[in-house]
Amino acid sequence: MKDVTIRVDHVSKVYRLYEKPRDRIKEAFSLRRKTYYREHFALQDVSFEVGRGETVGIIGTNGAGKSTILKIITGVLSQTSGEVAVNGRISALLELGAGFNMEYSGIENIYLNGTMIGFTREEIDRKIDDILAFADIGDFVHQPVKTYSSGMFVRLAFAVAINIDPEILIVDEALSVGDAFFQVKCYHKFEEFKRQGRTIVFVSHDLSSVQKYCDRVILLNKGRKYAEGAPKDMIDLYKRVMAGEDNAVPGGASGAGALAGGQAEPQAQEGALWRESMEENPNCSSYGNGAATILDYCVMDQSGRITNVLSAGEDYTVRMKVQFHKALSEPVFALTIRDKQGTDICGTNTMFEDFNTGDVRDGDVREISFTQRMDLKGGEYLLCLGCTGFNDGDFEVYHRLYDVCLLRVASGKTMVGFFDMCTRIGYSGKGESDG
């Protein structure tokens, strides 16, 4: 690769994990040099290069080593082995405001942070107006940072980090900070950096941003570099890794079977529940009168693979398995998709769809699937499931699961609101410029 700005060469990061705090002391005074720790590889033999002007995304499941590699590149952490070479001045958006003194005013913290990054006071003087305009927190900039709201704090921290004209920008989940209007400013700045040919490396769970902005994507899994390539290919492979297909390779067959009518059979490990292949919420809300229990559920992509990651514009299926504990007539099965603030975005149920589910008896198990096109804007959402019905005209909730799992929607398209309206544009006319 020509004009390499970042080279990571066989880098490993090992942590020593002790079961008990006193084991460190026992080890220090052990005459036989006995060890009381076990080694945990946060990174193991990772190598890659980033060229000048390239935008590279790093994705992977929690614990894959994404943030660790960024901290090593920026010098926040030291690697256990391997080499890292960086050619250019770095601005890192890792832990916003990590170097702020809460007793200092916003202005004082701007100069403090700028000095820590390596700027002289004269250079900061030239940047101060841009920083204040970007942060847009008014006269609060003269007040102690400890008096700021959390939104004001991250706005100032982001403004300091983003306005120093770096040659290399390192970002770890920091693009979506503050309110919606400030997020727009952040993304505009990001796009400006790309147009200027700056080198960008960023970690994000927002796969839409990864797909939209990145020239190349590196997929980490369990501390190792799993693969690298085009954004869409790596996102598809990430879906397979999340589904537990650790031996998946780019372009490999999904192996999904099919049911009658073309409905794919959910692919979970033998003897496992479907939901065990999902990114579940351990704190989901569950309630009902006990007339039914949602035993299992999953979300499938159009290949029949269980996944939390869905591609915009493609079909997907929500499937659940419900056991009944009493005889009921026409139970209603439902799903709702909400945003992370808890606002219901869309949803449906068998009653709305005029689908007759018939009668069930005590002990019966029913499976229901909802297949629809994913037209939500790229981002993260929460899935809710339910089984309800009417008994003598009264509405009853048999079992509901709120925010049961996370859905990540990957889309390379920018839009307003929540949905892609699949707009078709017509354009015509003739002017002087047409000759």
Residue 343 lies inside a defined structural domain of this protein = yes
At 292, list the tokens.
Answer: 């039914």
Q: How confident is the model at residue 246 (pLDDT cuts 50, 70, 90)?
A: low
**Residue range 18-44: average pLDDT?**
78
> Over 90: is that where the pLDDT of 13 sits?
yes
- The more confident residue out of 266 and 405 is 405
> Over 80: is that where the pLDDT of 44 sits?
yes
Q: Output the domain CATH number for residue 229.
A: 3.40.50.300
Amino acid letter, residue 170 = I
What is the percentage of the chain residues whose pLDDT exceeds 70? 89
pTM (2 d.p.): 0.72
Single out the residue of 58, 55, 35, 32 nearest to residue 46, CA to CA: 58
Residue 381 lies inside a defined structural domain of this protein = yes
Residue 262 lies inside a defined structural domain of this protein = no
- The answer to whether the CB of 42 falls within 8 A of the CB of 65 is yes
At 183, list the tokens.
Answer: 């997020």
Residue 258 lies inside a defined structural domain of this protein = no
Q: How confident is the model at residue 283 (pLDDT cuts 50, 70, 90)?
A: confident
Return the pLDDT at 184.
72
Residues 292 and 180 in one domain: no
Return the pLDDT at 259.
32
DSSP label of 102: T
Return the pLDDT at 179.
65
For 374, residues 6+ apart whose C-beta sits below 8 A from its C-beta are: 310, 311, 312, 313, 314, 315, 316, 409
Q: How confident is the model at residue 358 (pLDDT cuts 50, 70, 90)?
A: very high
Residues 179 and 109 in one domain: yes
Query: What is the average pLDDT value for the chain, to the nearest integer?
Result: 85
What is the percentage of the chain residues whose pLDDT exceeds 90? 47
Residue 297 lies inside a defined structural domain of this protein = yes
Q: How confident is the model at residue 221 (pLDDT cuts 50, 70, 90)?
A: very high
Q: How confident is the model at residue 29 (pLDDT cuts 50, 70, 90)?
A: confident
Q: How confident is the model at residue 253 (pLDDT cuts 50, 70, 90)?
A: very low
Quote the CA–CA distance of 314 and 427 in Å, as a whole number.
27
Single out the residue of 271, 209, 207 nearest to residue 234, CA to CA: 207
Cα 290 off chain centre by = 35
Return the pLDDT at 262.
42
Residues 95 and 153 in one domain: yes
Residue 247 lies inside a defined structural domain of this protein = no
Residues 225 and 273 in one domain: no
Return the pLDDT at 254.
34
> Over 50: is that where the pLDDT of 257 sits?
no
Residue 432 lies inside a defined structural domain of this protein = no
Residues 228 and 274 in one domain: no
Quote the CA–CA distance of 320 and 213 in Å, as a whole number.
35
174-219 pLDDT per residue, tens: 666 666 667 777 778 878 888 888 899 988 888 888 888 899 999 9
Quote the CA–CA distance of 7 and 309 in Å, as a whole number.
30
Residues 94 and 141 in one domain: yes
Residues 24 and 67 in one domain: yes
DSSP assignment of 32-94 equals T----EEEEEEEEEEEEEEETT-EEEEE-STTSSHHHHHHHHHTSS--SEEEEEE-S-EEEES
HSE (side-chain half, CA atoms, 13 Å) at 123: 14
> Over 60: is that where the pLDDT of 264 sits?
no
Q: How confident is the model at residue 252 (pLDDT cuts 50, 70, 90)?
A: very low
> Over 80: is that where the pLDDT of 14 sits?
yes
Q: Could you list the residue range(s) of the whole structural domain that residue 138 is in? A: 4-240
Quote the CA–CA distance of 71 and 273 in Å, as a whole number.
37
Q: Output the domain CATH number for residue 345.
A: 2.70.50.60
248-252, 267-271, 289-293, 404-408: the lowest-pLDDT one? 248-252
Residues 68 and 200 in one domain: yes
Residues 276 and 153 in one domain: no
Quote the CA–CA distance of 357 and 346 in Å, as a whole number.
22
> Over 90: is that where the pLDDT of 40 sits?
no
Per the structure, the count of domains in the chain is 2
Return the pLDDT at 188.
80
Residues 222 and 332 in one domain: no
> Over 80: is that where the pLDDT of 250 sits?
no
63-120 pLDDT per residue, tens: 899 989 999 998 889 999 999 999 988 877 776 666 788 899 999 999 988 887 778 8
**Residue range 210-233: average pLDDT?**
92
Residue 69 lies inside a defined structural domain of this protein = yes
Residues 181 and 306 in one domain: no
> Over 70: is that where the pLDDT of 265 sits?
no
- The more confident residue out of 391 and 297 is 297
> Over 50: is that where the pLDDT of 255 sits?
no
138-153 pLDDT per residue, tens: 899 999 999 988 778 8
Return the pLDDT at 73.
94
The DSSP element (H or E) to which 383 belongs, if any, is strand 379-391
Q: Phi, psi at residue 298, to the nearest 5°?
A: -165, 165
Q: What spatial distance separates the first Cα and last Cα of the chain, rounded to whole Å? A: 45
Residues 39 and 93 in one domain: yes
Quote the CA–CA distance of 266 and 319 in Å, as a whole number.
9
Return the pLDDT at 232.
87
